Structures are given as C-alpha cells and as structure tokens.
A and B are shown apart, each in its own frame.
Chain A
Amino acid sequence: MKLDVIFRVAAKIFIPFMLVFALYVQFHGDFGPGGGFQAGVVAAAMVIFYAIIFGLDAAQRIFPQRLVELMVPAGVAIFAGVGVVSLFLGSEYLDYSRLLHDPVHGQHIGILLVEIGVLVTVAGTMVAIFYSFIGRGR
C-alpha cells in the first residue's frame, strides 16, 4: 500500500493515540469502566491496524511472532505469580492485602498487577490469532 499516503499518514497520527487510549483504559479500570481485557484488545487493535496499513512484515519487525508467543504465557505468569507472592506472604492465594504495608494499598496494587497480566495475555492472544490468520498460505 505504498501509494496510499492518506492511509499511512492517518495511521501514523492514530497509532500513538490508540496506545495512550489503551493505557488509559488499563489504568482507569480501577475507577470506571475498563480494565486489562479491554485495554489488551485496544492495544492489539493498534498492532493489527499497523499490520493492515504497512503490511505483515513491517508489523512483525516491531512486534515479532516470538514476542507474541511469549506474551501469551507471560500475562498468565504475572497473574498467577501475584497470587503466589501472596501465598509466600502468608495469606490466601490471590489475597493482595499483605502486598503493601496497608491492606487498601495492597489490594489496589494487587488488582493493578493482575490487570497488567490480563492486558499482556489478551493483547498477545489477539495478535497471535491475527498473525496466524493473515499468515496462512504464505
């Protein structure tokens, strides 16, 4: 799509805002609608958008297949890992109260970490599905 200047310029303007919006949805998840899943989808949409405009090869240069395949388990590892940390701190699995000095802050940071795990896995999975569809027959 080398000739579609409008698309390419528009994409370059849009993509940073998509990432910012993804992060907004992610970190605003505690106070309003949003959270890791939605943020992950928006972040993945950014990569997919980039791949549609600039081609799969360009997308895989900045977002390689191997990275995507690592992101899928990495998010689960973050999620489950937070739970295990709370086990080691002497509370029940996924009880975040003892993560910080104060239970309220502990719960806050705990759910934030878990949601980051969700973001990583969801974004990775969406992109992995897209790559495997688009890569068929290549």
Chain B
Amino acid sequence: MIAANLPALQVVLPLFGAVLCAFLQRGILAWGVALIVSLAMPFIAAGLLIQVLDSGTISYALGGWKPPIGIEYRVDVVNAFILLLVSLIGAIIMPYAKASVEKEIPADRQAWFYAIYLLCLCGLLGMAITGDAFNIFVFMEVSSLAAYALIAMGRDRRALLAAYQYLIMGTIGATFYVIGVGLLYSMTGTLNLADMASRLGGIENSRAVLAAMAFLTVGISLKLALFPLHVWLPNAYAYAPSVATVFLAATATKVAVYLLLRYFFTVLGTVFAHKSLPIAEIVLILSLAAMFGASIVAIFQDDVKRMLAYSSVGQIGYITLGIAITNLAGLTGGIVHLFNHALIKGSLFMAIGAVFYQIGSVKLDDVAGLGKRMPITMGAFAIAGLSIIGAPGTVGFISKWYLVLGAFEKGWWWLAFLIVASSLISVVYIGRIIEVVWFRPVSAAAKRAKEPPLSMLVPTLLLVAATIYFGFDTTATAGIAGLAAELLLAGIR
C-alpha cells in the first residue's frame, strides 16, 4: 500500500503535519511534528526516485479518476530529482530551525510558523509532483501564500513590506501563469500536461499557443526571479526569518525553474523547437544580464543577507543559461546547478542565520572580525563561498564545468569566456565578506559572539560537507541531471 501511494504521501504528509502543528499551538510540539514530517520526506522522495530509475515514469491517478480526465501525479527522472532536492533541504533545515525560530519568532506564533512552513513545503512538493496544469497553479498558490506569510514573520518591520511586494509580484506571476494555461486549455481542451503536449502537434504556430508560451514564460519567470523580474527577491530574502530565508532560497526558486523546464521542453517542446518565438535567445540574454548585473549589485550591498540574495539572482542566471544553451551538456549543467546552488545557498544562509542568532545583525560592519569568535561557522561560510565562486573540488565547479562544456559544444566560445568572467565577480563579493570577517578587528557587536548551538552548527556543516562531497562524486548529481536533461531534450526533437 505504501509503495503504491508514495506520490500522494509526498504531498499529504506535510499537509497533515501543518494541520497538526496548527492544532498543537505549542512551538516545541509543533517543531517535533515538523521534524518528523521533514525527516520522512527524503525517504519518500528517494523511494520515488528509485522506482522511477527502476521501472520508468510513475503515474498516480488522484481520487481514482484516470488521466487525462482526473488529476494525475506524474513522476519522471526530472521531477523525482526536484522532489529529492526539496525534501532533503527541508529535512536538513528542521533540526536547525528549533534554536533559530525560538530566537526570532514570538512564542505565540511559533506553532503557526511551523504550520505555514509545512504548507509551503507541501505546495512546493505538489508543484513538482503533479502532472496537471491547473493543479500546478493551486499548489503554486499554496506555496506562495505560505511563503508570503513566512517572510512577513520577520522581526524587522520591513519584512512586512517585503512580503507585500512579493505578494503583488507573485500574484501577477500566478495570474500570467493561469492566463497561459487558459489559452492552452482553449486550444487543446485538456489540462493534463502529457496529453496537452501530444495535442499541440500541428497547432504550435497558432497565435493562442504563442501567446500562451509568452504568458507562461513571464509568469514562471516572475516566480523564479529571472533578471528583470527579480525585484521582489532581495528584500524578501533579507528581512525574512533566517529559517524561512534558507528554505525559500534553497527550494522555492528551484521548483519554479523546474516548471520552466517542464513547459519549455515537455509541454511546449514543439513550440520551443520551432523557434517561432526567440525564447532561447531571450533567456540567454536575461541569464547573462543576471549573471553580471545582479552579481555586480551584490558587491555594493552592506547587508550580508541582501548580498547573498542578489547573488542568488545571479546564480539563477546560470541555471537558466543551461536552458538557453539547449544541448545535453548545457542542460545538464543547468539542472545540476539547480541542485548545487540549493546546497551552496542553503549553507551560506544557514551560516549567516547562525550569525544572526548570535549577534542579532548581519550588517557588514557588525560581522567584522567574526572569524575569530565563530571560526567553525565562518569557516563553513568560506568553504560554501568558494563553492559559489566555482573553485575546483566544490559543487560550483561541476555546474560551471558542464555549462562551459555545453557552450563549447555549441561553438559559443565567447559564452564560455563570459561564464568564467562572471565567476570573477562572485570572487569580489564573497571575498569582501571573507576579508571583513577574517581580517578586520572584532566589531563591538561581535565581541561576545560564540559558536551557535550544535543543533544549528551540525546541519550547516553537513550541508557544507555535501557541497564538497558532490564536488568530487558527481555520479549521483550530474548522473541523474544528465538523465533528466536527456529526457527533456527528447521533448524538443
């Protein structure tokens, strides 16, 4: 029974956990529930991935209504990989969350915080697992509404404004998404993604389909913070509670990227391949603009969380660059960077969350000299920082290696040059933090800082260790990403 119903459990368990958290009303009990649920998630996701690798795509008919009439949960290599990523990050954050949430969230709201967190997890996993265009929208709203609430719980009053800004932008994105789906529905008469893809043959050049493609691209790009549509992201990440920042930075944008992949290659593969819209070129230009523009803006931030948030916008550029390159190596690079960036940004934000836990600030002036007070945390930060630059032996190198490989295969040597050049910008902003932290005299705020409790330190170190481990052993990450890229590219042939 369990094996057959894994797809449903993947989404239902966090939902039930959220309900239980809301019933319990006590922060510590809610944390216990959230911990159990979060730790169970990776096992379910791994089970799904193994099933997919063994016996191909899983199709689960929700409510017993067979697809394409009913809602179908459809798991293939691509979304099994995303599910595993999101659940792994969720599992690593939960032990970390206890101390951080106790410090940052008022006691009477902690249970609600965990309830909303689990709802957000449920929404993200649902978006990744479902094979129904409208069901994606429902889960998109579940996860987004939860994310707005998570961000608004930040202690800083600006958190409220940041959440509001995200709410407006996110709602526009979701609206565009629904308009796109509506147009596709009017042309194909189905909401099932696989069915939709098969019915688009022959009408891929009609106005309605092209308009749908445009609406979907803009809507999803708002969610994933592709360069000119990223303005909600820096404030949202900077003022959200640390745990929410770690979680959203590592997962929310990644699931949106997955949607983009799904639509470009699986559903609208014929449109994408037909090149009646210059989508790949537009994505290429915007990715490059993100890699350079956002990274340069990151250099001039004096708040470490904001700096990392801008760096996220830049890193998303690398992921979408993989889409723009559109060959096996390039797309593998994009997908593997999706995973790798989640690890890297997760560990960077976790380390910074630990700093906030200790000194209550993440201003660059206040973290000065912290290397002497919190050497382990800041050491972890430095290693993850090297990874984001793309130093060999870390995961960041693997992603860039594949992207450069893809660029060369395509004969775009200039792109390879630009990828390396943009890495140099990340040297500057990461270098700026490392210089301040390790080589400046200890600031007044950092005087009494010491290492965070083990419950925060161990998850951070685990994630940092993962950024090293997957930098050497790439069979799991790049291997599965390669399979996923192969599957996606089959859709545009």
Q: Which residues of A contact B (CB under 8 A)?
A: 69-70, 72-74, 76-77, 80, 83-84, 87-88, 90-97
Known: A80-B12, A87-B5, A87-B8. A70 touches B23 (CB 8 A): yes
Indicate if the CB atoms of B22 and A73 lie closer than 8 Å. yes
Verify if B64 is at the interface (C-beta below 8 Å from A). Answer: yes
Indicate if the CB atoms of B19 and A73 lie closer than 8 Å. yes
CB distance from B251 to the nearest CB of A (A): 22
- Cα–Cα distance between A72 and B22 once the two chains are bound (Å): 8
Report 14 cross-chain contacts, Cβ distance below 8 Å, ordered by A residue.
A69-B22, A69-B25, A72-B22, A74-B23, A87-B5, A92-B5, A92-B64, A93-B5, A93-B8, A93-B63, A94-B64, A95-B63, A95-B65, A96-B63
Mostly, the B contact residues are: helix
* Residues B363-384 near A (CB distance < 8 A): none
- Give the residue among B20, B64, B115 with the most A Cβ atoms within 10 A: B64
Indicate if the CB atoms of A73 and B1 lie closer than 8 Å. no
CB distance from A104 to the nearest CB of B (A): 13
- Cα–Cα distance between A125 and B23 once the two chains are bound (Å): 14
* Residues B41-72 near A (CB distance < 8 A): 60-65
Interface size on B, residues (CB 8 A): 19
Indicate if the CB atoms of A92 and B62 lie closer than 8 Å. yes
- Cα–Cα distance between A88 and B2 once the two chains are bound (Å): 10
Q: What chain A residues lie within 8 Å of B20 (beta carbons)?
A: 73
Name the contact of A87 in the complex, choosing from B1, B18, B19, B25 (C-beta under 8 A). B1
List 7 other contacts, CB 8 Å, given A73-B19, A80-B16, A88-B1. Answer: A76-B18, A76-B19, A93-B5, A93-B62, A94-B63, A94-B64, A95-B64
Ranked nearest first, the 5 interchain pairs of A and B with the lowest CB-CB distance are A95-B64, A93-B8, A73-B22, A94-B63, A73-B19
- Cα–Cα distance between A76 and B62 once the two chains are bound (Å): 17
Q: What chain A residues lie within 8 Å of B62 (beta carbons)?
A: 92-94
Known: A73-B115, A87-B1, A92-B5. A80 touches B63 (CB 8 A): no
Q: Which residues of B contact A (CB under 8 A)?
A: 1, 5, 8, 12, 15-16, 18-20, 22-23, 25, 60-65, 115
Q: What chain A residues lie within 8 Å of B61 (beta carbons)?
A: 92
- Cα–Cα distance between A68 and B133 once the two chains are bound (Å): 33
Q: What chain B residues lie within 8 Å of A83 (beta carbons)?
A: 8, 12
Indicate if the CB atoms of A77 and B5 lie closer than 8 Å. no
CB distance from B88 to the nearest CB of A (A): 23
Indicate if the CB atoms of B5 and A80 lie closer than 8 Å. no
- Give the residue among B61, B63, B115 with the most A Cβ atoms within 10 A: B63
Indicate if the CB atoms of B15 and A76 lie closer than 8 Å. yes
Nearest CB in chain B to that of A94: its residue: B63
Known: A76-B19, A92-B61, A93-B62. A84 touches B115 (CB 8 A): no
- Give the residue among A69, A70, A77 with the most B Cβ atoms within 10 A: A77
Known: A92-B61, A92-B64, A94-B62. A80 touches B19 (CB 8 A): yes
- Cα–Cα distance between A97 and B63 once the two chains are bound (Å): 9
Indicate if the CB atoms of B63 and A92 lie closer than 8 Å. yes
Q: What chain A residues lie within 8 Å of B65 (beta carbons)?
A: 95
CB distance from A100 to the nearest CB of B (A): 15
Name the contact of A90 in the complex, choosing from B1, B8, B12, B15 (C-beta under 8 A). B1
Nearest CB in chain A to that of B71: its residue: A94
Q: What chain B residues lie within 8 Å of A97 (beta carbons)?
A: 64
Name the contact of B60 in the complex, choosing from A73, A74, A92 (C-beta under 8 A). A92
- Cα–Cα distance between A3 and B464 once the two chains are bound (Å): 69
Q: What chain A residues lie within 8 Å of B12 (beta carbons)?
A: 80, 83-84, 93
Name the contact of A92 in the complex, choosing from B8, B15, B25 (C-beta under 8 A). B8
Q: What chain A residues lie within 8 Å of B19 (beta carbons)?
A: 73, 76-77, 80
Nearest CB in chain B to that of A98: its residue: B64
